[in-house]
Amino acid sequence: MNPRIEKLLNYLKETPQDAFLNHALGLEYIKENQLENALTCFELNHTINPTYIGTYYHCAKLLETMQKTEQAIAIYEQGMEQARLQNDQHSLNELRAAYEDLTF
């Protein structure tokens, strides 16, 4: 097993609802081409901490890779709304650009 994944899983035993750790684990799973595991991490983040904006972009990109376009569009839309609510213009711009690349 990838040592980074192993470390993250150990950290998550102590704090299973840590959005940063779940997000990092998802990214490590993507590097290992374990896409379903990555998606599970990102979906968990949406459930436990929907205000964690970073996950929206990576989750939607992953869904694009998995050819789940409609789901990716929905995640981009949710992320843009969350970015607006948090007044996070940088994230909003990134999400909007990716959304437009997919939808236009």
3-state secondary structure the chain: CCHHHHHHHHHHHHCCCCHHHHHHHHHHHHHCCCHHHHHHHHHHHHHHCCCCCHHHHHHHHHHHHCCCHHHHHHHHHHHHHHHHHCCCHHHHHHHHHHHHHHHC
Show the domain range for 43. 3-103
Indicate the number of domains in the chain.
Answer: 1
Which tens digit of pLDDT belongs to each residue from 24-35? 999 999 999 999
Which tens digit of pLDDT belongs to each residue from 57-69? 999 999 999 999 9
pTM: 0.93
- Provide the CATH number for the domain around residue 28: 1.25.40.10
